[in-house]
Structure 1
Amino acid sequence: MTFTYAEVGATRAERPPSGYSHLYVRRKIGRGAQAHRTAGEALMTFAMHRRIPVGVAAEAPRAAEGVAVTVTLAGFVKAPCRIVWTVEDARRTGWAYGTLPGHPECGEESFVVEHHDDDTVTLTVTAFSRAALPLLRPFQPLIPPLQRLYALRCAGVLRGIVRP
């Protein structure tokens, strides 16, 4: 299945592509290497998303490039995506998925847990998106605030996982 946007992988870039709504949220979720490992594992196994809670159907138990993921919102809105990149190293763990046909939006969203030099651990959510169908375009102004709430909820869930 092909992506519904041309800028695949652009959540890795410093500047998001034009023509989309943009989201950038970074929140502290803990401190230390163990917090990074714990949060990273919750992110890579989709546990963070499942605790939000949203429905998550992934064709693999762990995030990897090419894995198809369908998120179900509000119990009935299906949002098919495919993971476009991942990172797992001593300081950064995360992935991004891009929208596939049938998703109400088109664009990309990334989730990265990072262990900084000052020992803080953060979650950064970056996204660019726009309505996939002309019928949905009047509702586009509602999407950025909802995405921001979703990103903040992700950070809150990871904070709870890191500090039970």
Structure 2
Amino acid sequence: MRRGTFRDETVDYAAVGATQAPDLMHYPPERSIPAEESWRIGSGEGRFASASDALLSWAAQRGAGLELSDVRPAAGPMYSGVSFDAEGNPLAPSRLEADQRFDSDGTPYVGAGTTVRVDGRVRGMNADGELRVIYSIEEPRRVGFALGTVSSSVVSGEESFVLQWYDNDEVWFTVRAFDAPSAFLYRVFPGMVRRRRRELFTRYLRAISPLYSTP
């Protein structure tokens, strides 16, 4: 198992890591609009492995039509976590630094503390911003990460992307987010925040599950 967590005061919102909160949809951070969707994207170890590799190489963002630039892994060592059995006994030693991986064009894979610039539009709405990977998860049956806004976005908040391979062999993809409007137009018309989020969710799903299609 590899698991990383990162927190830095330069993110522009207070509830860092709140996409992990079980009650996010009922008690979102102040002034934020929460959202959550889950989709079954297939079954089996092969499906989980291929989707996990795609997710950690930024396929959801790229498939959503966002351009990535200035991908900067966190400087220095990073605590990567440890796995435990049902009785709480450690199964593997903690590691001080995660292995750095790169995709075919040399872009670093997702890692806790990585900062990335994204640029793009979703149905005419701005999707630009500087984002930071707040936490990352790599477990035998669960893989994912969360992105938090740092600057230049029309909203402030966090979104998480998690793949789960369940004991019944089904593979599910879950995206959770909370957005607080920061740009003037989005504060005046909060419905734009919801429309922007719905479109992003749909694009993320299509990127991770190519067989997805709308009726």
TM-score by length of 1: 0.89
Q: In structure 1, what is the Cα distance between the partners aligned to 2:60 and 2:43?
A: 18
Aligned equivalent of 2:72? 59
CA deviation map 1:44-101 (0-9, x unaligned) = 0112321222112222511111100121122975211100001011111110010112
Structure 2 segments unaligned to the other structure (5+ residues): 1-8, 74-107
Taking a change above 3 Å as real, the CA distance of residues 11 and 31 of structure 1, as seen in their structure-2 partners, is: same
Q: Is contact 1:78-1:102 (8 Å) kept?
A: yes
Q: Which amino acid aligns with 2:109?
A: R
Q: In structure 2, what is the Cα distance between the partners aligned to 1:142 and 1:136?
A: 6
Q: In structure 2, what is the Cα distance between the partners aligned to 1:134 and 1:153?
A: 25
Q: In structure 2, what is the Cα distance between the partners aligned to 1:120 and 1:87?
A: 19
> Shift in Å at residue 135 of structure 1?
4.7
Aligned equivalent of 1:45? 57
Q: Which amino acid aligns with 1:159?
A: S
* 2:15 counterpart of 1:7: yes
Q: Is contact 2:121-2:128 (8 Å) kept?
A: no
Q: Which amino acid aligns with 2:168?
A: D
Aligned equivalent of 2:29? 18
Q: In structure 1, what is the Cα distance between the partners aligned to 2:63 and 2:182?
A: 27
Deviates more, 1:53-62 or 1:8-17: 53-62
Aligned structure 1 segments of 4 or more residues deviating by more than 6 angstroms: none
Q: In structure 1, what is the Cα distance between the partners aligned to 2:162 and 2:127?
A: 25
Aligned equivalent of 1:128? 178
Aligned equivalent of 1:68? 115
Aligned equivalent of 2:140? 90
What secondary structure sits across from 1:106 in the alignment? strand
CA RMSD between the two structures: 2.0
Q: Is contact 1:39-1:161 (8 Å) kept?
A: no
TM-score by length of 2: 0.69
Q: Which amino acid aligns with 2:49?
A: R
CA deviation map 1:108-133 (0-9, x unaligned) = 00001111121111110000011124
Q: In structure 1, what is the Cα distance between the partners aligned to 2:15 and 2:64?
A: 28
Q: In structure 2, what is the Cα distance between the partners aligned to 1:35 and 1:77?
A: 29
Structure 1 segments unaligned to the other structure (5+ residues): none
Q: Name the one with the larger strand percent.
A: 1
* 2:42 counterpart of 1:30: yes
For these two proteins, the number of residue pairs brought into alignment is 162
Deviates more, 1:123-132 or 1:12-21: 12-21
Q: In structure 1, what is the Cα distance between the partners aligned to 2:194 and 2:186?
A: 14
What secondary structure sits across from 2:160 in the alignment? strand
Deviates more, 1:16-25 or 1:102-111: 16-25
Instruction: Among all aligned residue pairs of Structure 1 and Structure 2, give the percentage whose two residues are the same amino acid.
Output: 29
Deviates more, 1:65-74 or 1:129-138: 129-138
Q: Which amino acid aligns with 1:40?
A: S
> Shift in Å at residue 28 of structure 1?
1.1
Taking a change above 3 Å as real, the CA distance of residues 35 and 4 of structure 1, as seen in their structure-2 partners, is: same
